[in-house]
Amino acid sequence: MSPPSSPPRKRSWPRRIERALLGAVMSVIAFVIERRVLKSIRKGGKKSETGPTSPLEGGLGRDGLAVSPKQVRE
């Protein structure tokens, strides 16, 4: 047999407020990331207007697999 269980402890008000704020912030972050991912998927394989910011920047190839960064030889 299991020992008698004690009544559940109530959480303190600061902890409840902290959890509520953290949940709200994480929801906003997830929403923003999801919108950016969906926008990227809708955009498809089109190249970005700004182009790569660095000559050592990698990315995705035509088949969707990661490619190694291009190195510039001087």
Q: Rounded to whole angstroms, how far apart are CA atoms 70 and 56? A: 5
pLDDT in tens, 28-52: 999 999 999 999 999 886 665 555 5
Q: What pLDDT score does 34 carry?
A: 96
From 32, 39, 35, select the one nearest 48 (Cα to Cα).
39
Q: What pLDDT score does 43 carry?
A: 87
In the structure, what pLDDT confidence band is assigned to residue 53 with cuts at 50, 70 and 90?
low
Task: Select the more confidently predicted residue: 48 or 66.
Answer: 66
Domain layout of the chain by residue ranges: 13-67
Q: What pLDDT score does 25 carry?
A: 97
Q: Rounded to whole angstroms, how far apart are CA atoms 39 and 50? A: 16
